[in-house]
Amino acid sequence: MNAVSQLRAEAQGDASLEPALRDCVTRAVRRYLADLDGTECSEGLYALVMREVERPLLREVLAWHGGNQSRAAAALGINRATLRKKLAQHRIG
């Protein structure tokens, strides 16, 4: 069984993935804010998080679906043209 197949099998058997993702984001944001130690973020935190998260999100979902952009777009809840635009922006593909 390859790594993607193993991840799919694990994901299908685990209904707690959404809270796990939420917990990861919570820990990462708390750590980032603590590391700032009271200084201001040079850019908006929302923009920073979106910039850091979008590329790996797109890359992993596309890989999960074997490179099939239509299926990846559907899983992401976006139009395939939007996905293609984002892939080009992030130089993925």
**Domains held by the chain: number:** 2
Q: Are residues 62 and 18 both part of a single domain? A: no
Q: Is the domain of 26 the same as that of 47?
A: no
What pTM value is reported for the model?
A: 0.71
In this prediction, residue 2 has a pLDDT band, given cuts at 50, 70 and 90, of low
The mean pLDDT value for 52-68 works out to 97
Q: Is residue 21 domain-shared with residue 57, that is, in the same domain?
A: no
Compute the average pLDDT of residues 33-56. 89
Kindly state whether residues 93 and 49 are assigned to the same domain. Answer: yes
Looking at the structure, do residues 49 and 84 belong to the same domain, yes or no?
Answer: yes
Let me know whether 48 and 25 are in one domain: no
Beta-carbon contacts of 76 under 8 Å, excluding residues fewer than 6 positions away, are 57, 58, 61, 83
Domain that includes residue 26, residue range = 1-40
SS3 77: coil
CATH number at residue 61: 1.10.10.60
